[in-house]
């Protein structure tokens, strides 16, 4: 133990003298200033490419092999020199963006966990307007909403806005949603580059330029109820002016049974005390379980409605079957054998028994149903934005395809063709970076149907005055429309 500790101290002493790090210890590594040796980076990208080729179910859906291989060679070239972790993540994500799969990427926000013991963090929700950065909300309102953010410690906010595209995930042809993602990445980049307790921040409020020293809390404090992580309540329901507002912050609840029970209660209430219209708010809902997306659908359609989707799997060490525990695997096999050869579970069982590397499409056609057989027949709107992803995007695609109502807000991160799904996370050996990679593709298109982005019927852009007054312009439009 003493020998290992001594070796680490020697290595650390070498790093302090300005040389690159041959491997990364999160607690000691600054992701912005300290460089990682190219030999370590090259090993990690070889591991990255190998794992993606093994696991990804449709690697060349949006890019041909020659283009992807050329991009990989560029990545190898860029990693042939020492890089900081921040630069490395940017290079890796530019390579992964060719897949146009928002589930396969490295989140730049993961870098906030490096040297976290000394890191301060100022949560900011930003938007872009004509190339300028506007504040929607900040931690404890330290920066007024609606002002134009100019700089932090003499670095212009637009500098980080311009750097943001290389760090953002891309989903198929959802280009508008991708561009709307930039302010969210800008916030992360600003905090990564300025982890200090006190920062000088300048903004423009009307005609007045204001510079203030802003105190940022410890990052550990901001994780409790952080404004970017969705509402603390997964499902909420309220009535306003005769309209029911159902907000679903996530399809990844702590308790699946509790999630379903809450929806049962809400739609029971709507049945007993009708509303003039139902608004389903999926803004900032980054997705989750398909089964819960389908459960929400069941309340909006006639009994025995079928939801048809093709699931493309690739058998690998990373697919959902390999990730089952021994007990879960036994339950799956037992259930599959009980229904065999009927039902989707039987086709999944056939796939489960195939060798690694096998690609297969399982046709899934569940009957949409809920415990009490409830259905809401009235007018319905769905609110979405660029952070409506995965299961939320697939729900929106289904909602629009059925013409069940109108979609309001900003483009969702998806298309009518369905998203990738069931991401598995592996950690690169030298840098410790978590890489998310899809293990399933959901196909929603019928034969001959064209894939198009999920563009709202009514695209609503908040005004500066609405931001300053903290008014929800999208919801207000839906209430009045």
Q: Could you tell me the CATH superfamily of domain 235-480?
A: 2-enoyl-CoA Hydratase; Chain A, domain 1 (3.90.226.10)
* Assigned CATH class of 116-222: mainly beta
Beta-carbon contacts of residue 308 (< 8 Å; ≥ 6 apart): 363, 364, 365
* Token reading at 288: 């989750």
> What does the domain layout of the chain look like in residue ranges?
2-100, 116-222, 235-480
Distance, in Å, from the CA atom of 189 to the CA atom of 86, rounded to the nearest integer, reads 9
What is the tens place of the pLDDT at every residue in 393-420?
999 999 999 999 999 999 999 999 999 9
- 8 Å CB contact between 419 and 390: yes
pLDDT value of residue 221: 83
Furthest-apart CA pair in the chain: how many Å?
A: 73
Beta-carbon contacts of residue 170 (< 8 Å; ≥ 6 apart): 97, 99, 100, 101, 102, 178
How far from 455 is each of 173, 213, 249, 413, CA to CA, in Å?
11, 40, 20, 10
Secondary structure class of 102 (helix, strand, coil): coil
* Token reading at 260: 């379903």
pLDDT value of residue 362: 86
pLDDT value of residue 224: 54
pLDDT value of residue 103: 96
- 8 Å CB contact between 253 and 259: yes
Distance between alpha carbon 320 and the CA centroid of its chain, in Å? 19
Distance between alpha carbon 71 and the CA centroid of its chain, in Å? 24
Distance, in Å, from the CA atom of 279 to the CA atom of 458, rounded to the nearest integer, reads 14
Q: What angle do CA 166, 24, 80 make, to 5 degrees?
A: 55
pLDDT value of residue 229: 44
pLDDT value of residue 4: 56
Along the 481 residues of the chain, how does pLDDT read in single tens digits?
445 545 555 555 455 456 899 999 999 999 999 999 999 999 999 999 999 999 999 999 999 999 999 999 999 999 999 999 999 999 999 999 999 999 999 999 999 999 999 999 999 999 999 999 999 999 999 999 999 999 999 999 999 999 999 999 999 999 999 999 999 999 999 999 999 999 999 999 999 999 999 999 999 888 654 444 444 468 999 999 999 999 999 999 989 999 999 999 999 999 999 999 999 999 999 999 999 999 999 999 998 899 999 999 999 999 888 888 899 999 999 998 988 988 778 888 998 999 999 999 988 889 999 999 999 999 999 999 999 999 999 999 999 999 999 999 999 999 999 999 999 999 999 999 999 999 999 999 988 889 999 999 999 999 999 999 999 999 999 999 8
Say yes or no: do domains 116-222 and 235-480 share a fold. Answer: no
pTM summary value: 0.91
Lookup result for tokens 């309209």: 243
Beta-carbon contacts of residue 243 (< 8 Å; ≥ 6 apart): 275, 276, 277, 278, 279, 478, 479
- 8 Å CB contact between 106 and 436: yes
- 8 Å CB contact between 188 and 226: no
């Amino acid at each position: 133990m003493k020998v290992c500790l001594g070796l680490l101290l020697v290595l650390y002493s070498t790093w302090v003298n300005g040389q690159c790090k041959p491997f990364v210890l999160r607690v000691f590594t600054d992701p912005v200033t300290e460089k990682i040796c190219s030999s370590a980076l090259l090993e990690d990208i070889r591991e990255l490419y190998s794992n993606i080729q093994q696991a990804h179910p449709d690697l060349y859906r949006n890019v041909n092999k020659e283009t992807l291989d050329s991009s990989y060679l560029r990545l190898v070239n860029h990693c042939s020199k020492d890089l900081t972790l921040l630069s490395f993540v940017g290079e890796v994500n530019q390579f992964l963006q060719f897949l146009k799969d928002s589930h396969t990427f490295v989140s730049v926000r993961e870098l906030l966990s490096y040297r976290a013991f000394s890191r301060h963090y100022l949560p900011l929700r930003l938007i872009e307007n004509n190339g300028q950065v506007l504040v929607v909300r900040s931690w404890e309102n330290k920066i007024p909403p609606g002002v134009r953010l100019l700089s932090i410690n003499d670095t212009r906010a637009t500098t980080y806005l311009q750097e943001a595209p290389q760090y953002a995930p891309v989903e198929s042809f959802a280009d508008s949603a991708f561009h709307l993602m930039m302010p969210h990445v800008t916030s992360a980049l600003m905090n990564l580059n300025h982890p200090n307790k006190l920062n000088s921040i300048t903004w423009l409020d009307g005609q007045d330029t204001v510079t203030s020293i802003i105190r940022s809390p410890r990052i550990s404090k901001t994780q409790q109820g952080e404004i970017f992580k969705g509402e603390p309540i997964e499902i909420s329901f309220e009535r306003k002016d005769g309209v029911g507002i159902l907000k679903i912050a996530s399809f990844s609840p702590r308790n699946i049974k509790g999630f379903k029970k809450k929806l049962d209660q809400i739609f029971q209430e709507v049945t007993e005390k009708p509303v003039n219209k139902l608004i389903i708010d999926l803004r900032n809902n980054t997705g989750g379980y398909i089964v819960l997306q389908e459960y929400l659908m069941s309340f909006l359609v006639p009994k025995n409605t079928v939801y048809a989707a093709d699931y493309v799997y690739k058998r690998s060490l990373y697919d959902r079957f390999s990730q089952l525990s021994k007990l879960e695997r036994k339950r799956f096999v037992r259930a599959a054998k009980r229904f065999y050869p009927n039902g989707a579970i039987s086709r999944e069982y056939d796939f489960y028994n195939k060798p690694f590397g096998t690609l297969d499409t399982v046709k899934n056609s569940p009957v949409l149903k809920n415990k009490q057989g409830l259905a809401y027949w009235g007018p319905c709107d769905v609110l979405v934005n660029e952070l409506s992803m995965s299961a939320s995007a697939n729900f929106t695609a289904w909602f629009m395809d059925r013409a069940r109502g109108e979609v309001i807000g900003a483009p969702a991160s998806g298309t009518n063709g369905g998203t990738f799904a069931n991401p598995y996370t592996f950690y690169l050996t030298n840098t410790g970076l978590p890489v998310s990679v899809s293990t399933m593709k959901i196909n929603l298109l019928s034969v001959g149907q064209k894939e198009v982005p999920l563009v709202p019927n009514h695209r609503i852009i908040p005004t500066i005055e609405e931001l300053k007054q903290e008014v929800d312009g999208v919801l207000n439009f839906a209430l009045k429309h």
